């Protein structure tokens, strides 16, 4: 059924005459539906989009207070404004209704003009609240997308400086996401890792060109300097309340740790290495092995898997390697 421009109101009262009276006051501006039992009202709210409820208190089986309590306990219905319309006129009755989450309390008999004004007022408040929530959601999504894009661009900047195409971070990020899902992460957790993984080598920005772009093997002193890129990356990202940046920092700091404790910068071992760092380590090395570089040919996937399987329990988490094989 088409919705009235003013919205849909649910009138709940066990006395049909009371429903008729309220409906007569409101149906010229709103679509009015009704229920004579509390249970029927809850079922109707589940089936239909209701904008406001006018609710009697004294009803058999389930009174209005219990109906309101259940509405406010349900995340899907707690936002619907409830106006108690009742013959209970004591201040304590009104206080109880408002404590249960009702927005207003009208004593019977009701004056039509008052009913219409109160309904209009609470619908306008609800609409303003919904519009504000929508604006906040849209702005939050925009800020989150901007943050993700900055992280991606910084990750690619680090790869370009390292004489790579910039595609490495994209490939290894998607591999990290797939491995996280296979390891039991939720879709949201895996997507967060997808967006954090590009920052794994951001610390290379702080490594001197003479080391970063050296065509031959690094000497021991140069290798020590190269190893500092993990800590530099964590420092660049910093400490933030954002889940994305917290995870990016963890990945940057721990993706060169090894299962046997021989990695860097902290020499963490086994499950002391955050799971995300263990996942990114595998994705990073796999893509490096299967990609052509100026100093090496691209390995086949089979050769890369064979090599990494040999490093299970040494460089890599053996359970994650097992997941990769299967």
Q: How many residues does the chain have?
A: 326
Q: Which CATH superfamily does the domain covering 144-325 fall into?
A: Hypothetical protein af1432 (1.10.3210.10)
Residues 195 and 152: their CA atoms lie apart, in Å, by 7
Quick one: pLDDT at residue 157?
A: 64
pLDDT of 2 reads 46
**C-alpha span between 192 and 284 (Å, rounded):** 17
Q: How far apart are the first and last CA of the chain?
A: 52
- Residues carrying CATH 1.10.3210.10, the chain: 144-325
- pTM score > 0.85 for this model? no
Looking at the chain, which residues constitute the CATH 3.40.50.2300 domain(s)?
A: 8-110
Look up the CATH superfamily of 8-110. Answer: Response regulator (3.40.50.2300)
Instruction: Specify the pLDDT at position 268.
Output: 97
Contacts of 34 (CB under 8 A, 6+ apart): 10, 11, 12, 13, 19, 23
Q: Is 162's pLDDT higher than 60?
A: no
Q: Which residues does 298 contact at the CB level (< 8 Å), separation at least 6? A: 289, 290, 291, 292
Q: Which residue has the higher pLDDT, 149 or 288?
A: 288
Strands 82-86 and 31-35: unpaired
DSSP, residue by residue, 86-131? ES--SHHHHHHHHHTT-SEEEESSPPHHHHHHHHHHHHHHHHHHHH
Question: Does residue 137 or residue 38 have the better pLDDT?
Answer: 38
Burial class of residue 283 (count of CB atoms within 10 Å of its CB; 0-12, 13-18, 19+): buried
Query: What pLDDT, in 10s, does the model give residues 225-255?
Result: 999 999 999 998 888 878 888 999 999 999 9
Q: What is the pLDDT of residues 300-326, one digit of tens each?
A: 999 999 999 999 999 999 999 999 877
To the nearest 10 degrees (0 to 180), the angle between helices 301-310 and 318-325 is: 150
């Amino acid at each position: 059924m088409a919705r009235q421009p003013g919205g849909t109101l649910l009138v709940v009262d066990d006395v049909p005459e009371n429903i008729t009276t309220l409906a007569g006051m409101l149906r010229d501006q709103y679509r009015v539906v009704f229920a004579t039992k509390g249970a029927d009202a809850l079922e109707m709210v589940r089936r239909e989009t209701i904008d406001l409820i006018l609710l009697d208190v004294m009803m058999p089986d389930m009174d209005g207070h219990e109906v309101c309590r259940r509405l406010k306990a349900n995340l899907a219905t707690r936002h619907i404004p409830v106006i108690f319309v009742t013959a209970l006129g004591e201040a304590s009755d009104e206080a109880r209704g408002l404590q249960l989450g009702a927005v207003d309390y009208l004593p019977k008999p009701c004056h039509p003009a008052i009913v219409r004004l109160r309904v209009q007022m609470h619908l306008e408040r609800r609409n303003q609240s919904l519009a504000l929530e929508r604006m906040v959601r849209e702005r939050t999504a925009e800020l989150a997308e901007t943050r993700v894009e900055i992280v991606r661009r910084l990750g690619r900047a680090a790869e370009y400086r390292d004489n790579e195409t910039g595609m490495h971070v994209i490939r290894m990020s998607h591999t990290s996401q797939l491995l996280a899902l296979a390891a039991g992460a939720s879709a949201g957790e895996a997507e967060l890792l997808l967006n954090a993984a590009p920052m794994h080598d951001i610390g290379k920005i702080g490594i001197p060109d003479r080391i970063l772009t050296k065509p031959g093997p690094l000497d021991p002193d140069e290798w020590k300097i190269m190893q500092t890129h993990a800590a530099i990356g964590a420092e660049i990202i910093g400490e933030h309340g954002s889940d994305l940046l917290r995870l990016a920092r963890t990945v940057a700091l721990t993706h060169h740790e090894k299962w046997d404790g021989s990695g860097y910068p902290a020499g963490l071992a086994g499950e002391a290495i955050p799971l995300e760092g263990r996942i990114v380590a595998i994705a990073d090395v796999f893509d490096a092995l299967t990609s052509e570089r100026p100093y090496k040919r691209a390995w086949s996937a089979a050769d890369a898997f064979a090599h990494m399987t040999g490093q299970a329990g040494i460089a890599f988490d053996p359970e994650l390697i097992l997941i990769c094989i299967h």
